[in-house]
Amino acid sequence: MQFVYRSAEGRPELLRGLASDLIRMKPDALVTGFGTVAATAGKAARSGIPVVLMAVGDPAGAEVVASLARPGGNVTGLSDLAAYRASGFSCCARSSLPPR
């Protein structure tokens, strides 16, 4: 397993280019950093590569996923929106982990 790290260093305008660079590497998955802006950039690439969100506030409200219960498309992950912590969205992420 190889991990490739990129950072926009707090400059959201760089995220789309960073995502494009990573996609050219043809990874098995993209794991976005914390926040809706990074998640949106990852999804916007529309590469078909699975995108895993980390601590996105309201992915449905930001139109990153169709809904928390059924994210759809190539996006899954975790929301830190307290009202939805027990939802199927976080269950989706847990089910993608290998068994213990």
Q: How do the pLDDT tens digits run along the chain, 100 residues long?
A: 788 888 889 888 888 888 888 888 888 888 888 777 777 767 766 778 888 888 888 888 888 888 888 888 888 888 877 554 555 555 565 566 566 6
For 35, the domain range is: 13-95
In a domain, 32, yes or no: yes
In a domain, 46, yes or no: yes
Q: What is the pTM of this model?
A: 0.68
The whole-number pLDDT of residue 61 equals 83
CB 64 within 8 A of CB 32: no
**Number of domains the chain contains:** 1
Rounded Cα distance, 42 and 50, in Å? 9
